[in-house]
Structure 1
Amino acid sequence: MNDATDSSNKFLTGLARASGGALLFSLPMLLTMEMWWLGFTMPAMRLAVLLAVTLPTLMGLAYYSGFEVPQGWVGTVVDAFVAYCVGIVVASSVLVLIAVIRSSETMFSEGLGKIVLQAIPASFGAVLASSQFGDDNDNGRRHEPNGHAHHDLGCYFRELFLMFAGAIFLAFNVAPTEEMLVIALKMTAWHAIAMGLCSLVVMHAFVFVVKFRGQEAVPDESSQGSVFLRFTIPGYAIALLASLFCLWVFGRLEDTALEETLMATMVLATPAAVGAAAARLVL
């Protein structure tokens, strides 16, 4: 009986922690007007594609840092879907509370679109809650020793996945805003080159240079240049792809020339690159 009670208490604690993480990670998006509009105007096909990318990403994050310790892949899938359900509850509650969704005025399809879209950043916060807010016994329970990522192929792909998750989350937060295109229109080719170089420097410094907690050590047999080529360059490429995807899914590339598309992708890749680097530190 005590074991059952203890297990139930742990689950409820994890659920409460997930709700707190969902609120913290999603609140800026829940209060953003562009996200309210997108919940109504985004084509169903693009929303489906976004969910098709989001759910496997949540599963990967649940495997490495979920708020419940899953038992194999079935547990991991359940963990990810619970996180998304928590995101739905948190997003629905806030949108109703701030009168963005009104039962008497909001069409069902409009309200559903807003909730489904806003639940995505909330679900990221829910699934990351353990690594950010958990106690010392929970944190890092699925982490591999930092040095392994430099030698083991599985750990290397884990690092690439974490960079993708961090990039897609931070890009998601700013891609819907008009400022991405405004900045892109103001930039020249030299601005884009400088922005790309700065992004690479920031990514590398975040993970290997500036001594943040969770920073990875460069193995004795590896040089900074080698690590830069194997991790930072692929990480920035992932940030570019995540940025391009977010711009497309939010309809920011419609009737846009190739040059403007490249510029907007470079602009968005800057916060995406920071997200990719930060994910390696905190997960």
Structure 2
Amino acid sequence: MAVPGRQAPTDLAATELFAVDAYRRSFESEVAEVDPEQNRVRLARTAFYPGGGGQPHDLGLLSWDGGKAEVVRVKREGARIWHWLETAELPQAGVELLGELDWERRHLLMRTHTALHVLCGVIWKEFEIPVTGGNMEPGRGRLDFPLPSLSQDLGERIERRMNEEIQAAREVMVEFVGRAEADLDPALIRTAANLIPAEIDPLRVIDIVGVDRQADGGTHVADTSMVGAVAVVGMESKGKENKRIRIEVRDA
């Protein structure tokens, strides 16, 4: 399983556990900083995904000696990742605690995110066009493309091609690629506008072998068969050359 990242920066691998091991369900850490005004804490390391790229943040639980609290929000602010807690008694800085993800929700988001990358790969192979927008929730997601038109035949073909790639059990690799190398590959950053700041170096890259390879910070399953199956559940025109494709993840 290609869970660990290859060539991951040492500091990233030690602090942002979700970036190198999407299957990490629990972890131990120290409270690095407390913000009582916003009822949140920063941890020395975390497996909670802070949201981004259309993928929602994780939920879960933090437990420490004498207390526990639900994690209701996670967000990156600059270099810091904050965890908002549903409790009146925050743990103090320096306290050791246990973090546990809402794994059922996270795993469904992983399946959904990988399915969206398969959709992106299928569209790229057929049309070589970028993504203009996207979003997801557990089990459902959508991507927007500058397609000239939509049709029932297109939706059926996309659904069939996606399920073929999913059933092929394509390995999902996590890599870290130097920015200079990444900038030479126009297919690596598939958004219509490059929204990834130039100072982010190296880029984290998700490679669904033979299907899709692009810069991405989210969490994914280890191979496409773990997605299960997908259905195209809607297609909408959002403008002259902006078409939305909605998918749903289902059990195989």
Question: Above 0.5 in TM-score?
Answer: no
Greater share of helix residues, 1 or 2? Answer: 1
What TM-score, normalized by structure 2, do the two folds share?
A: 0.28
Q: Comparing both structures, which one devotes a greater share of its residues to strand? A: 2
With CA pairs under 8 Å and 6+ residues apart, which has the higher RCO, 1 or 2?
1
| TM-score, normalised via structure 1 length | 0.26
